[in-house]
Structure 1
């Protein structure tokens, strides 16, 4: 019996050795026609299990990573189809795989999947950081599954980062800074960054993204707060009416009135017109370091911390707030005076002050990107000897900028709408009479009947003959651009046609969200993520506006701005689900898909006429649709 037991044990040991040998003999990487795929041993479920490198050109390499063993079949919205004819080699050396083109090389670790990019002389250009440079967290939104993830790269002290779109907060070089990428009127987010170290990084993700610190800004309650009497618990908030009388005074542990939901926390019946609110007291930091503050403001705002004016008076229109960021060095346990002086400058206005806890200078200076939702991590490394060549690589990936009509480069005349046909024609005639050059005159919104937003039909009482209007404009050797929103009132024929096919976002209608026109009307936006919806949207524009010979399109509110100043979470609800997934995953790409509808639509019926669009929001790839982005509804001050 003992002999059989020994034989069985030896047999099991032999099987174990053979299994281990078989495991070791399995290839940990696989070369493909376009690059290499590396399989990793995950230490935790939040680590990458598979990393893929693909050669796009001699100077562009795509890196993809997932905590799963395979990649989903995902079509990029921003990167056009690529024909890969670039020669490359793959070499295994020790614990690394090196992929080399005629201009650059990328090395990936077989143990942890970290990637480093070099020039042909072996000089490092960009390196994923030590430690957990990649991390994944499962997320579900609207029944769709994906991951939140972060990628961190090392960055030398003298590196500078430019790009990320348009963020009107007085920042140019984003080194050691934090920026949130989402779309908002005056804020245009593009997940592309250019370094002064001869590379650019295109982050192929469409959700809420954070550059720098991945954490959300925290409330002022993270500090110990003391009121103006020195009592702990909150800052003194004094509400002062236009007559200079104190309406109420209370302690507040949070200054968070930044959207339509949070402003409900203001004291009931406080008369905001020409009023002033002052938060004052002391803050005590829980730890020593550099705190990053974010001021979200409308109206007139000033901030003092430690007796210094850290924010000189800034102003924004009450209905369209802006963000301003600043840093303050604080010591743990030290009480520091703070004062926020705010004049709302409107019956409804917005204000908040939040902060990020300190991080080490080394961590804060790294190049880091976090995204809320995606199917897998995807970025493109673009090498170039100068920034112009890096931008050329960006166009290689996302599409060439089309040649615009020649007149679009000329002089424009625009105002907050011409209210009648006579007004726009007579204005242009006066320019010609005075010999003032003008190439384009703009017809802003509300040329339709009051309750017909989305009909694309001119109000005949004010615009009796649109064809004659266009003939008159063209007869004076000028062009006309017209405002078209992706918005539809429920009673319009266009809404009903789109809604019948499931192409309208439903939440605003279910919630009876009314706009600011007349008594307020209920409507919603169409879903441009459906090809059929885009086709129908263009068909409606063609049949009602383009037929008159309209020259260009002003695509307003393309963030989409379904309800101004709503919270980010409610904004997502208002525009979900899309035809291809949750708005959480596709938050930032509405303007891109909307531009696709108009550009491809017009080219399909008039291929020999150049297209031009002006849009209030944008994203990577917008340039391929003959589209320019304007600054949005900025504050009416020279200083922005």
Structure 2
């Protein structure tokens, strides 16, 4: 009662001085300098700040945010011209004179602040609607480093000092989010084209359309913590099927069903591992029939037989679908009749192809009905949702004035991939839970991690400079909370190498091989491109280096499957990340803040892709605070310094953090060929370690009902003991008994890409705790 009286006293005393605020269910609201300002706590660590011109009304239904605000305990006090709101995790201050909102930790240390009078609205007419362009300015610390903004091809890991126009495009994924080395993140919840600017005076988001200024402050204390809050706000990432973490082959394009099946047969005959084969465009025939979601019977006479043949070969098939429809398709006619097309030109040019209104839930229903009947009914395994940004051919500014279900195209432009991909995911989940949704797609927006999507970096060029840029592009994308990303091995456009022999061109062979080494350590390993077919046998025969090195890294990928699947489970169950910028794990080592060509794969492997043509050696910085083992030689090195690593064509600089336990999978031809009943465990001493092995039924959603197992390993470095804890959980077909071959890694043992030949100990494990001293 005393607290309520105190708040009322504050309110009436503020009225007397002309500076009033009211307490709301989730925070406060005030009118300051002609703006309505609302501060709303979605949780103790997530704060929403909304501002709008006085006298206006707005109703904002977020497309990205799915978390509902929580009614939490807040301490609200006035201190002079400021209102201070304190949760159990942070403090927020509203300046009642200038409207500035600032965030600090519970000790008063400043985390992030707006500028005084930093919110600007400019009245505009968005076709028939009176609204605004909206700009919000902040101020960062001088030496503060930030990351994010989606996938930009600027070659930068830090996004300080950048001006970036955020509008979706091929190769450019635009997400108005950044996170700071100070342990917070900011999501600007606006879907219009937006300019991000950072200079010594300010950091700002400036959107072409917005009824309000609307952003979320997320306090996580660390990069992992920020991503945890972002996933809490916008959705968790479901687990992909085990097979998709293997090797996937594609080209632009397989022209007949026989050509596609023959590729799988060839891999099997060569005994080179393969799990996915991808059917690209034009299986429907002519461009006027673009995306008909049906097969041209002259080239694909029996598509069900094609899918069945792939399955009989123990592989899986992706089939492409686009958001645009040619004028002769049934979909085009239905969407046009129901006014569900966005009437601009998309790919392919001069074909009359037009995208459907992805923002309309009924249109998404119709889209799936055709996709399900024409493709999914064949028992296909995964989707390639191409051009999901989408392609905008012959772009005209007036195209952004076109109507959609949610307003003008301009007002919702950047959310196109979120709506399109989300529609396919939601409908497949409603159709069956027997097969996990897997969507390969070219664009993304905040929240898309909840839709089983893996975004690739677009139609990038086949050259060394572009290759190098993919590393920071993928890292910044992952730092936006979306964990699944990949790139065309070798780059998409490889026409410059055709004259020199294509896949037999030594320059392309080197570029492709180095790119494949990088792809081995990304969330999806996928070969694709135009101009030059990329199947392993196109490069030569076994015994020739281009074949042998590729085979070596494909096999390495499969040895890593138990590690990668466990890492993926950490993504799903604990908001983890697969590709990790070095700062995520070594925030106290400022030397790593701006390293754009190294990263962690999971929490144990440090990867330094070779991105210079002809490089014989490469300098690699090993972060301070850990000891590091050369994966290939077992050599141990203290962190905090750079080492020079020799890089012959079959070696990528690869280091394992001391205090790691790596489960080493068997040699297989496809992901599920062998059970993990006799795993090698590589222990890298130098610190205590913990690792949880995860297993389930591999390709259904029974894990959501708890049908999975976890086996946790603890390494006590001081005592040199390994403890395997009781197995948790169960699922049909799980292993009751298994062996673990224990390898204590040093320069003589447990090194390289093959299986070890000798072990420190072998344990028969039946699900009950066991400890062994090494």
**Matches of residues 332-351 of structure 1 in structure 2 within 5 Å?**
none
Alpha-carbon RMSD: 2.0
**Distance (Å, rounded) in 1 between the aligned partners of 2:94 and 2:13:** 24
What does residue 184 of structure 1 align with?
169
1:34 maps onto 2:26 in alignment: yes
Question: Is the Cα–Cα contact under 8 Å of residues 25 and 71 in structure 2 kept in the other structure?
Answer: no
Q: Runs of 5+ in structure 2 lacking a partner?
A: 1-11, 467-774
Question: Per-residue displacement from partner, 1:468-502 (whole Å, max 9, x unpaired)?
Answer: 10100011111101110111111211111121211
Q: In the alignment, which of 499, 516, 540 is matched to residue 370 of structure 2?
A: 540
Matches within 5 A, 1:245-324: none
State the structure with bigger RCO (CA 8 A, min sep 6), 1 or 2: 1
Change in Cα spacing, 1:556 to 1:570, as seen in structure 2 (3 Å) is farther
Checking the alignment, whether the CA contact within 8 Å between 2:126 and 2:408 is kept in structure 1 is yes
SS at match of 1:454: coil
Q: How many residues align?
A: 454
Choose which of 51, 68, 87 in structure 1 pairs with 2:37: 51
| 8 Å contact from structure 2 (residues 119, 213) kept in 1 | no
SS in structure 1 at match of 2:131: strand
2:225 is matched with 389
Task: Give 3-state SS (helix, strand or coil) of 1:468's partner.
Answer: helix
- For the structure 1 residues 21 and 369, does the alpha-carbon distance in structure 2 shift closer, same or farther, using more than 3 Å as the test? closer
The structural deviation recorded for 1:534 is: 0.4
Report the equivalent of 1:612: 438
Residue 486 (structure 1) aligns with: 323
Structure 1 distance, partners of 2:412, 2:38, is 23
Partner of 1:377: 213
Aligned residue in 2 for 1:139:
124
| CA positional deviation for 1:144 | 2.5
Partner SS, residue 633 of structure 1? coil
Alignment CA distance shift 1:22-1:74 (3 Å): closer
Task: Name the residue aligned to 2:385.
Answer: 555
Aligned to 1:297: none
| Structure 1 residue 73: Cα displacement | 1.5
Work out the CA distance in 1 between the residues paired with 2:19 and 2:433. Answer: 51
Distance in 1 between residues matched to 2:171 and 2:103, nearest whole Å: 35
The reply to whether residue 635 of structure 1 matches residue 620 of structure 2 is no
Name the structure 2 match of 1:290: none
Q: Does 1:73 align with 2:59?
A: yes
What residue number does 2:243 align with?
Answer: 407
| 8 Å Cα contact 2:26/2:69 also seen in 1 | no
Is 1:569 the equivalent of 2:407?
no
Q: Within 2, Cα distance between the matches of 1:56 and 1:514?
A: 41
In 2, Cα distance between equivalents of 1:39 and 1:608: 53
Q: What SS class does the counterpart of residue 108 from structure 1 fall into?
A: strand
Aligned to 1:600: 426
The match for 2:146 is: 161
CA contact (8 A) 1:454 1:495 kept: no
Q: Which residue of 1 aligns with 2:4?
A: none
The answer to whether the 8 Å contact 1:439/1:478 transfers is yes
Deviation at 1:568, TM superposition (A): 6.0
The reply on whether 1:470 has 2:307 as its aligned counterpart is yes
Structure 1 residues not aligned, in runs of 5+: 1-19, 43-48, 214-360
> What are the Cα deviations for residues 181-218 of structure 1, in whole angstroms up to 9, with x where unaligned?
011110110111011111110010111111116xxxxx
Query: If the length of structure 2 is used for normalisation, what is the TM-score?
Result: 0.57
Equivalence for 1:218: none
Q: Does 1:422 align with 2:422?
A: no
For 1:505 and 1:156, locate their aligned partners in 2 and report how far apart those are by CA, in whole Å. 43
SS in 1 for 2:403: coil
Tell me which moved more, 384-393 or 79-88. 79-88
1:460 paired residue among 289, 294, 297: 297
How far apart in 2 are the matches of 1:84 and 1:22? 26
Cα deviation, residue 385, structure 1? 1.5
**1:171 alignment partner, one of 156, 163, 179:** 156
Q: Distance in 1 between matches of 2:407 and 2:188?
A: 19
Which consecutive segments of 4 or more residues in structure 1 shift more than 6 A?
A: 20-23
C-alpha deviation, 1:27, in angstroms: 7.2
- Select the structure that is richer in helix: 2
- For the residues of structure 2 that align with 1:170 and 1:24, how far apart are their CA atoms? 55
CA radius of gyration, larger in:
1
Aligned partners of 1:74 and 1:591: how far apart in 2? Answer: 19
Q: 1:26 to 1:473 in 2, by over 3 A?
A: same
Taking structure 1 as reference, are residues 490 and 593 closer, same or farther at Cα in structure 2, changes over 3 Å only? Answer: same
Q: Once the 2 structures are TM-superposed, how far is the Cα of residue 120 of structure 1 from its aligned partner? A: 0.6
In 2, the alpha carbon distance for the partners of 1:22 and 1:57 equals 27
Q: Compared with structure 1, are the counterparts of its residues 194 and 147 closer, same or farther at alpha carbon in structure 2 (3 Å cutoff)?
A: same
SS at match of 1:629: strand
Q: Work out the CA distance in 1 between the residues paired with 2:461 and 2:399.
A: 23
Q: Compared with structure 1, are the counterparts of its residues 54 and 22 closer, same or farther at alpha carbon in structure 2 (3 Å cutoff)?
A: closer
Q: Which residue of 1 aligns with 2:275?
A: 439
TM-score in terms of structure 1 length? 0.69
Contact 1:525 1:562 (C-alpha < 8 Å) held by counterparts: no
CA-to-partner distance for each residue in 1:363-421, whole Å, 9 max, x for gaps?
1xx22111111110100111122111011111111111111111111110011110001
